[in-house]
Structure 1
Amino acid sequence: MSQLLTANNLRFLFDGLKLTLYISFVAILLSTIFGTILAVIRNQKHGPLRFIAGTYIEIVRNIPNLLWIYVIFLIFQMKSTPAGIVSFTVFTTAALAEIIRGGLNGVDKGQKEAARSQGFSNFQIIWYVVLPQAIRNVLPAIVSQFVTVIKDTSFLYSVIALQELFGKSYILMGKYAQTGQVFTIYGLVALMYFTINFCISQFSRWLSKSWAKGY
């Protein structure tokens, strides 16, 4: 065990963890922005932009993310890290757009009418009245999608040889032949994933309760 959990090995794994978190954070940030915009556009009653948004969402959501990683990496000839960020952004944007759109549809119409009676424009109603309530209502689903992004970055090593956390662990396992050593590495990596995602989930629960008290 002491030969396995050396400073160099742990540093090697934590370098992979930092890359995993970097890719996940950037993809989540971009997906939240683009997904919110697409949700608002698709929720409009008419217009070509609504059709375009709907087409994008349906096509992307119904093709596995693994395939998007291949497509973006091979067709666009991108480097591994940008390809990972772009592919996860493309896929997660569509998923979040549908989640947020569900939240938008769940907001009581009386809220919109009340805001309109106060002289709010359609833009103000959407961004200052409807969206905050929609995000609050679907926060658990949004966080669940964030957790999925972090876990699914483990695909990147097998597809485009990107040395994120799982990739680093796979390389490290090549140095050790004993079953116990391999399981120790797997266990350590699983603990890292679990700790990060559990903390995110707990924060989401705390935030939901805080919002519910203040609502």
Structure 2
Amino acid sequence: MTTALYDVPGPRTKRRHLFYGLASTVVILALIGWIIYLLFDTGQFVAEKWTPFTYKGIQDLLLKGLANTLKAFGLAAVLSLALGAVLAAGRLSEHRALRWVCTLLVEFFRAMPVLVMIFFVYVALKVEPLPALVAGLTLYNGSVLAEVFRTGVNSVDRGQHEASYALGMRKTQVMTHVLVPQAVRAMLPTIISQLVVALKDTSLGFLITYEEFLHAGKLIASNLDYDLPFIPVVMIISPIYIGMCMLLSWLANWVSRRQKRNPKVEGTDVGAPEPGSLLPGGHKRPAA
């Protein structure tokens, strides 16, 4: 028995796949067990290494670091999206000089390591750690998002452009009412992926003494009074970073589902409007 895509596995193939699945599960469980054994063998679960996390001062330090991480990420995310939109609009412009300038900026900031930009702003311009971190993240992620936006808009079928111009719409109306709404769905996963990169890159702030989450963990892990609890710090901080990244992914899925259920999009007749109907911007479609 076959389908249009692949051969349906028979009894022998199903047994072989079951064996592969069980073998892989055993290997993974054995690896996890070996890692746990090593952690116990090196004394990573002794009370001395975990007791500090019960202190209110340590908890406040971690919460303050987490708040500073979210603050830097929030600022960098908003500014990166804004910068990306501006640079993408410039690269899509009909003016050659503007396209050339925006292309130069995008290629330069995409090629420059984000840590170099953070250090340059912090050392050369002598600004505070938070603005330096946000500036570096914004320049890098904004330039990457600019390419995402430009590619997303260009991916819309060219017939959509031509039909919109034929109806008398201006370029701004075509962009805001036709191209961008259709491109958002295709761009959303990549946008969220880039925001996850920005969230993780906030950890570079500890190199310029910005008191973010990783900086707080470093202070705890390097404390001799707590028997250098490096592994316990990693085991506490890592799930929180993973959880924040998963929350961003969930948000992207939620927005995507909301768009699919949007009554303005779902069930809308995309045929030609009736003569005399209003177009975006108040223009009337001429009668045939």
TM range (shorter): over 0.9
Q: Which of 51, 54, 63 is 1:14 aligned to?
A: 63
Q: Letter of the aligned partner of 1:30 in structure 2?
A: L
Q: Letter of the aligned partner of 2:133 in structure 1?
A: G
**Equivalent pair of 2:52/2:58 in contact (CA under 8 Å):** no
1:11 is displaced (CA, Å) by 1.4
1:38 is displaced (CA, Å) by 0.9
Partner of 1:74: 123
Question: Does structure 1 residue 109 correspond to structure 2 residue 158?
Answer: yes
Map 1:32-111 → 2, pairs under 5 A: 32-111=81-160
Partner of 1:170: 218
Whole-angstrom CA distance in 2 between matches of 1:115 and 1:8? 61
SS of the residue corresponding to residue 88 of structure 1 reads helix
Q: Letter of the aligned partner of 2:211 in structure 1?
A: Q
Question: Does structure 1 residue 207 correspond to structure 2 residue 255?
Answer: yes
Identity %: 27
Q: Which of 98, 109, 120 is 2:169 aligned to?
A: 120
Alignment length (residue pairs): 213
Whole-angstrom CA distance in 2 between matches of 1:117 and 1:6? 68
Partner of 1:198: 246
1:129 is displaced (CA, Å) by 1.6
Please identify, of 41-50 and 120-129, the stretch whose mean Cα deviation from structure 2 is larger: 41-50
Cα distance per residue 1:37-82 (max 9 Å; x no partner): 2112102344211000000000110111011011111111111111
Name the structure with the higher helix share: 1
The runs of 5 or more residues in structure 2 that have no matched partner are 1-49, 266-288
Larger RCO: Structure 1 or Structure 2 (Cα < 8 Å, ≥ 6 residues apart)? 1
Partner of 1:152: 201
Q: Normalized against structure 2, the TM-score is what?
A: 0.70
Whole-angstrom CA distance in 2 between matches of 1:6 and 1:119? 67
Cα distance per residue 1:118-164 (max 9 Å; x no partner): 32111111122212222221100000010101101111112x11111
Whole-angstrom CA distance in 1 between matches of 2:121 and 2:100? 24
Whole-angstrom CA distance in 2 between matches of 1:75 and 1:41? 28
Cα distance per residue 1:6-43 (max 9 Å; x no partner): 22211111101111111111111011011012112102
Whole-angstrom CA distance in 1 between matches of 2:138 and 2:187? 19
Structure with greater Cα Rg: 2
